[in-house]
Amino acid sequence: MTILEIRDLNVRIAGSHILQGVTFGVAPHGVTALLGRNGVGKTTTLKAVLGLLPPKAELGGEVRLADAPITRQPTHRLVRDGLGYVPEDRGVFGGLTVAENLRLAERPGADPDYNTVYGLFPELQRRGKQRAGTLSGGQQQMLAIGRVLLNPNRLLFIDEPTKGLAPKVVGEVAAALHAVAQTVPMLLVEQNLAVVRRLARDAVVIANGKVAYTGGAQDLLDYTEKTKALLGVGKGEHT
Q: How confident is the model at residue 234 (pLDDT cuts 50, 70, 90)?
A: low
Query: Which residues, other chains included, contact 176 with Cβ-Cβ below 8 Å and sequence gap of 6+?
Result: 120, 121, 142, 145
Q: What is the CA radius of gyration of the chain?
A: 17
pLDDT at 236 over 70: no
* pLDDT score at 223: 86
Give the three-state DSSP class for 137: helix
Average pLDDT, the chain: 94
Longest dimension (CA), the chain: 50
d(CA 102, CA 91) in angstroms, rounded, equals: 12
Query: Rounded mean pLDDT of 7-13?
Result: 98
* pLDDT score at 238: 55
For the chain, percent of residues with pLDDT exceeding 70: 97
Instruction: Report DSSP letters for 167-222, one per residue.
Output: HHHHHHHHHHHHHHTTTS-EEEE-SBHHHHHHH-SEEEEEETTEEEEEEEHHHHHH
Q: CATH top-level class for 4-82+153-231?
A: alpha beta
* pLDDT score at 239: 52
Residue 90, class by beta-carbon neighbours within 10 Å (0-12 exposed, 13-18 middle, 19+ buried)?
buried
